[in-house]
């Protein structure tokens, strides 16, 4: 993992995601939505918004996927690996789970672009580190087997949280290790350029530079 900066909210996000989502929530507690929609009104499922089962919230956040892919350059926030068009599984992770904060279910700032494998591991965990809040060097990469490990010099609390995040998200799953290795070895063999590694695997690129493994012309 490497730090990720919050991208600006798309200009059409409110219309496509937030407004329909909040109207759906109003219906689910028996209120009248602000903007009428075609079809029958949703049945009431709870008396209060915080009592709505997360499974009943319409997945309007999926409408933001194309914008997330563009805003974050198709990079999974947790693996820092490129999500391939067509074959890469993309998903919206709610960093604050819907089960805890209904009012964050349809908020751009609560979304992290995540590959489907990572999101399936994270589920509703609140104990993994947020890519928006980490610092460079918290996660390091071993360049033999390409496993992620805690960085050097971390205090014990941060080190424990980093290790927990690695374990919880299975960041050392063989599929991720193989993908990191493929980028690194292709770079070492001059099959791909340094700029390509930076675009497709910025965590690998950061570690190659930090560990002095760049070709002379890229230093």
pLDDT of residue 35: 83
What percentage of the chain exceeds 70 in pLDDT? 99
**pLDDT reading at 100 higher than 70:** yes
* pLDDT bucket at 34, cuts 50 / 70 / 90: confident
Give me the residues paired with residue 141 across strands. 148
- Over residues 151-171, mean pLDDT: 96
> For residues 203, 179, 82 and 130, what is the CA-based torsion angle, rounded to 10 degrees?
-50
Q: What single DSSP character describes residue 56? A: G
Tell me what pLDDT residue 86 has: 66
pLDDT recorded at residue 190? 96
Q: How many residues does the chain have?
A: 219
What residues contact 56, with CB distance under 8 A and at least 6 apart? 28, 45
Q: Which two tokens stand for residue 61?
A: 């956040």
Q: Which residues pair with 82 in a beta bridge?
A: 75
3-state secondary structure of 130: coil
Mean pLDDT of 165-186: 96
- Tell me, what's the pLDDT at 219? 85
Nearest to 147 by CA among 179, 113, 191: 179
CB atoms within 10 A of CB 100: 12
Q: What is the pLDDT of residue 43?
A: 92
How far is C-alpha 148 from the chain's CA centre?
Answer: 17
**Whether residue 84 has pLDDT greater than 90:** no
Band of residue 12 on the pLDDT scale cut at 50, 70, 90:
very high
Measured between alpha carbons, how far is 175 from 23 in angstroms, rounded to an integer? 40
């Amino acid at each position: 993992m490497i730090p990720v900066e919050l991208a600006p909210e798309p200009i059409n996000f409110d219309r496509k995601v937030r407004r329909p989502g909040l109207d759906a929530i109003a219906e689910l507690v028996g209120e009248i939505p602000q903007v009428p929609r075609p079809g029958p009104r949703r049945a009431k499922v709870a008396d209060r918004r915080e009592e709505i089962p997360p499974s009943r919230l319409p997945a309007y956040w999926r409408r933001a996927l194309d914008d997330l892919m563009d805003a974050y350059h198709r990079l999974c926030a947790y693996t820092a690996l490129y999500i391939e068009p067509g074959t890469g599984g993309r998903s919206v992770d709610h960093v604050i789970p819907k089960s805890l904060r209904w009012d964050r279910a349809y908020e751009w700032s609560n979304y992290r672009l995540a590959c489907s494998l990572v999101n399936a591991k994270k589920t509703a965990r609140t104990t993994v580190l947020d890519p928006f809040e980490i610092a460079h060097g918290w996660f390091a990469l071993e360049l033999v087997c390409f496993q992620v490990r805690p960085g050097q010099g971390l205090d014990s609390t941060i080190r424990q949280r980093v290790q927990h995040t690695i374990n919880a998200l299975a960041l050392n799953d063989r599929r991720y290790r193989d993908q990191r290795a493929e980028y690194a070895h292709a770079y070492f063999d001059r099959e791909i350029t340094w700029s390509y590694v930076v675009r497709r695997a910025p965590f690998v690129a950061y570690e190659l530079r930090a560990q002095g493994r760049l070709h002379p012309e890229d230093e």
